[in-house]
Every structure is written in structure tokens, then in C-alpha cells.
Homo-oligomer: A and B are copies of this chain.
Amino acid sequence: MKNSFGQNLTLTLFGESHGRLIGAVLDGLAPGIRVDEDFIAAQLELRRPFGRIGTQRRESDHFSIVSGVYNGYTTGTPLCITIPNEDADSRDYETIRHTPRPGHADYVAECKYHGFQDYRGGGHFSGRLTAPIVAAGAIAISALRAKGIMIGTHILRCGGVSDRAFDDLDVDIPRLNAAQFAVLDGTAADSMRHRIEQVAAEGDSVGGVLETAVAGLPVGVGEPWFDTVEGLLSHALFSIPAVKGVQFGAGFDMADECGSRFNDCFAAEDGHIITKTNHNGGVNGGISNGMPVLFRCMVKPTPSIRKPQQTLSFSAMETTTLQISGRHDPAIIHRARVVVDSVTALVLCDLLTGRYGTDYLRGGRR
């Protein structure tokens, strides 16, 4: 499958950072899903760099849906979205093929593709490829909303500053979805942004932790082995550049706890079966249990920094000092959260389509 993901709803990604255009094909969508181009644009806006905490490369992301939508609804056949590259400046990248940037894919690309890779701006590895994921994800998010399934992600921690935990998802998720800098506690948001600016001034970068909640997922989705909810989500989440850790529910934080505390006891609430705690993050035995699916992604600090770094010149096999010029983000965690939402929505649509068939996500008969 390589650059594709999903068995019933499949996303295929193509393009390079400085190529002509980037895009994605989404196949397996139900017919009759309303496609709201304004919402896609709004989601892309959340991914775009902004203010003093983003790169100066500014792409308008004027996407085109070139197939799979007719009269404003999905047709049920493959939907292709393309986004042109406009503001690419390839001069900056001539050196990186032979002087790989630490923390980047330059070196592995050279080894894997034997020098044939398009190395300009990271090529196919570029974080820019998350734009078509967000555009495609927007359609998935819309389809899930129509089914009462909501996804929200906040920056739980960034630059040493913590946000408050999720509280009332019915309030928290819509608020996060509307925010450019998605933090639940406004004071924490200010501290984080201040910290990012500070680090940017030093020519350095920061990462952090994103926390995601999915509300409304039906019980019984996922498989006991391998295609578990956790396995499928993590598979896709780890391909978001910079994600180096994924945990569900309490995860590593409760590694020292006993079973009697970790176990989530079942109870009834308004005639529904719930668990009193949710340390398992809404998943038991790989299968959704009806509670909110909760997970966290660790986002490493952006590897492109202005500070000089030691690296190796391939040609000479000699240590050299690399000073990355170009335009880079001191943090991408606030931009990454909409990518997490999008990837999550795509995985859930895939799972739901497999479980309930190809018409599950569509609206009524035309």
C-alpha cells in the first residue's frame, strides 16, 4: 500500500513540496456526502502558518476538487483534491542532498531512493503533504458530524506549559474546532505562544503533546487482533511528521498504577452502559466501548532550526556545520492538531465503512 491508508476508505497521497502540485485521492466514500468547500478551506486555514509563530512560506492553498464530487455531493467514485505549490523557493535546498539536516529525512531518502528523490524542500517527505490530508479529512469530519461523531484536539503541553484536561466534550470540542491555537485554558495558550516566540528568537524550536477526544463513536468498531482501533489510529498518526509517540487513555502516565485503579468499572447512566473512568481511552480488546476515544500524540520539536548544527558531508565524509536558512516553523504542534483531527476522521470513516457498509456515511436518497 505504501503511500495509501485505509482498507474500505483509502487515502492515497502524492506530490512534493516544490513540485507542481500536491494532492490526495480518497476512494471508498459513500455517495451523497455533502461537500462544503468553505469548510475545507477553513480547515486548511487552521493548518496554515500564522503570526510570528509560523514559517514565512505562505501558501494560499487554493485547492481544487477535480473528481468525485458532482453538484456539491460525493459521487461515490474516487475524489481527487489537488493543491498547487506557489511559494516554493528551491534555491535554499541545493546543499541538503549531500549535507543532510539532523532530524530530517534527507539522509534516509538519499539511501532509499539512490539520489533520484526530489530533495527540494523535503520533497515528498515535506510537512506540506499534510495539506491534502487536511482537505480530505475535512470531508470525513463532515460525514462523521452528520452521524453525531465529533473529534477535537488540544495542545495539552507545549514548551513546558500545560493545558487543562478535557472536561465537558460537548463544550470543549466545538470550541477547539473553532480555535486557530487550540488550547482549552486561555492563560496556558498565551504562555505557550510566548514560549514559542522566545524559542523562535533563539533560532530554536519546540514540540509538545496533543490530546484528542472522539465523542459519539458506536460500540463495537475495531477488530480483536491487528486491526484494533488503537492499531489503525496509531498506524496513521505516526505518519504525521514529528509524531514520535501515541498513547490511548491513561497510557504511560499510569504505568505505575495497579489494576484495581486502572480498570474502568461499568455502570449505567440514563439507560446507557458507560464506564465510570476512562483509563482505557474508550477501547477494550481493540474495540470501541462507547466511551470517548482518548489519545495523545507526542510531537517532537521541529527539526529545522536556525541554530548551527553539526552534521556530515556525505561527499567528504567529514563533519561540517550546517546553518539552515530558508523559512521554518519554530513550532508545528498548533498546526499539527488539525492534521491529527483529519487523520483520525479518515481512520474512523474507514472503520465505520467496513463495519456498516459503503452507504453508512451517505445522506438520504437524492
Contact = CB atoms under 8 A, between A and B. Distances in A.
A27 B15 CA distance: 11
A171 interface: no
Given A108-B284, A234-B246, A263-B305, A76 B15 contact: no
A82 B66 contact: yes
B220 A226 contact: no
Given A73-B116, A224-B124, A319-B267, A301 B357 contact: no
A77 B235 contact: no
Interface in A236-253: 236-239, 241, 243-252
A67 B32 CA distance: 30
Given A257-B207, A264-B103, A276-B310, A8 B285 contact: no
A32 B80 contact: no
Interface in A276-299: 276, 279-281, 284-290, 296, 298-299
A145 interface: no
A21 interface: yes
A7 B7 contact: yes
A125 B224 contact: yes
A102 B263 contact: yes
30 contacts: A2-B226, A2-B227, A7-B7, A10-B12, A14-B79, A16-B67, A21-B67, A22-B67, A31-B112, A31-B114, A77-B113, A103-B259, A104-B284, A105-B284, A108-B284, A115-B365, A116-B366, A125-B286, A157-B256, A159-B256, A205-B259, A226-B235, A228-B239, A244-B250, A246-B247, A252-B298, A254-B300, A268-B318, A273-B314, A354-B357
